[in-house]
């Protein structure tokens, strides 16, 4: 009952004891979830057409557990067997990265196609056969043996340039997604993955705590995770981000550098620290679900920041394809700038929700 009145932004304020048993319980639960998702994935044929939907859900669930285990090992590492947890973490990061890539390419293509339609004045989503609307295509794309869905943009409302840009992005991102899918399947069949699964199975039965852990207090470690987040946010240009239309995100939009915008990196870092903070709160307050909605809003703004940043890069990369038509390049330029403005909008949204956080916890 008391957990309903927690201040989720301030782990130190948690009433009562937060025993190390909560840590072990959380890790066991995540490990069990991991193994269950793995079983489902195998039973649904690892992405074969018949169980594509469940298989894809299972892969996402695997990744979700892997991220939580990895983050928890990091935040509470003084309470866990050091050698064991330090060897497991990079393996979980590898797994989570490999499993996430297919979905990321799918989502990026959806985002860019949706933007192209919006920029072409198409009201809402294009009116296409159900089999080719972006979300359905994404689902279909997750099937393993099925060939990639053919692009079918609604060319009636698109200029030639926008239609060609859409087709080019579809080709490039579908190819990347297909490769990512194969890589994920290969990873899940590898001995490297089996070693990870064995380690997670250990975690499901007995969490390797240090001898002093059972009497330790989790809250200082969770508070340290919160401090790292707060410090990183302090380093962000929040004053600028809070002034709408500051035009910061498109600076260097035409610079000769082809690397991702360096100005995005601190925001990506805060996104990771916010996630670690959220996982630490889950460990401390297993009943407090969902976590503070404003914390979720801040996290969603940073996800949107990351997605728009990567979509903008994909549009810029597509524009460097040799021998494209000027109209295609023009459309990709508009699309790139549009997504960089989404980046700016996401920073504004983060600033707004963070400001509310700051007020509510002061």
Binding stretches for a copy of itself (CB under 8 A)? 116, 118-121, 157-159, 161-162, 244-245, 247, 250-256, 319, 324-338, 341, 344-345, 348
- 8 Å CB contact between 181 and 56: no
Coil, strand, or helix at residue 209?
Answer: strand
Least gap, CB of 156 to a copy of itself (angstroms)? 10
Q: Retrieve residue 307's tokens.
A: 């997605």
Least gap, CB of 236 to a copy of itself (angstroms)? 18
- Which C-beta is closer to a copy of itself: that of 93 or that of 119? 119
Q: What is the DSSP string of 2-34?
A: GGGG--TT-GGG--S---HHHHHHHHHHHHHHH
List the alpha helices (DSSP H) in the chain. Answer: 20-43, 52-75, 82-119, 134-141, 160-188, 191-205, 219-234, 238-241, 265-284, 293-319, 326-361
- 8 Å CB contact between 5 and 12: no
Between CA 156 and CA 164 the distance in angstroms is 13
Least gap, CB of 248 to a copy of itself (angstroms)? 10
- Which C-beta is closer to a copy of itself: that of 132 or that of 159? 159
- Which C-beta is closer to a copy of itself: that of 16 or that of 256? 256
Least gap, CB of 270 to a copy of itself (angstroms)? 19
Q: Which of 83, 74, 91, 69 is nearest to 24 (CA)?
A: 69
- Which C-beta is closer to a copy of itself: that of 157 or that of 240? 157
Least gap, CB of 247 to a copy of itself (angstroms)? 7
- Which C-beta is closer to a copy of itself: that of 283 or that of 335? 335
């Amino acid at each position: 009952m008391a957990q309903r009145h927690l201040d989720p932004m301030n782990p130190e304020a948690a009433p009562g004891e937060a025993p190390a048993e909560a840590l072990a319980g959380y890790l066991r639960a995540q490990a069990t979830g991991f193994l269950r998702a793995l079983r489902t994935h195998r039973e649904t044929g690892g992405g074969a057409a018949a169980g594509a939907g469940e298989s894809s859900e299972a892969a996402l669930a695997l990744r979700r557990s892997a991220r939580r285990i990895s983050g928890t090992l990091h935040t509470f590492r003084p309470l866990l067997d050091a050698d064991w947890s330090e060897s497991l973490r990079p393996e979980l990061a590898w797994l989570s990265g490999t499993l996430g890539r297919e979905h990321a390419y799918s989502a990026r293509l959806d985002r860019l196609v949706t933007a192209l339609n919006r920029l072409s004045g198409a009201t809402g989503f294009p009116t296409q056969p159900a089999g080719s609307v972006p979300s359905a295509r994404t689902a279909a794309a997750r099937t393993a043996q099925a060939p990639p869905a053919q692009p079918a943009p609604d060319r009636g409302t698109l200029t030639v340039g926008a239609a060609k840009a859409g087709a080019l992005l579809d080709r490039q991102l579908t190819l990347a997604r297909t490769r990512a899918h194969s890589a994920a399947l290969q990873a899940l069949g590898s001995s490297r993955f089996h070693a990870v699964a064995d380690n997670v199975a250990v975690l499901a039965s007995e969490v390797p705590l240090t001898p002093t852990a059972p009497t330790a207090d989790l809250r200082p470690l969770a508070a340290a995770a919160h401090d790292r987040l707060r410090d990183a946010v302090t380093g962000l240009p929040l004053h600028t981000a809070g002034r709408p239309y500051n035009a910061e995100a498109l600076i260097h939009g035409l610079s000769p550098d082809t690397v991702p915008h360096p100005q995005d990196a601190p925001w990506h870092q805060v996104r990771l620290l916010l996630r670690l903070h959220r996982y630490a709160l889950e460990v401390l307050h297993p009943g407090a679900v969902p976590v503070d909605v404003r914390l979720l809003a801040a996290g969603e703004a940073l996800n949107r920041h990351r997605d728009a940043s990567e979509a903008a890069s994909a549009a810029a990369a597509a524009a460097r394809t040799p021998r494209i038509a000027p109209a295609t390049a023009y459309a990709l330029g508009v699309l790139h700038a549009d997504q960089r403005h989404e980046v700016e909008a996401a920073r504004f949204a983060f600033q707004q929700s963070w400001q509310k956080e700051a007020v509510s916890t002061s």
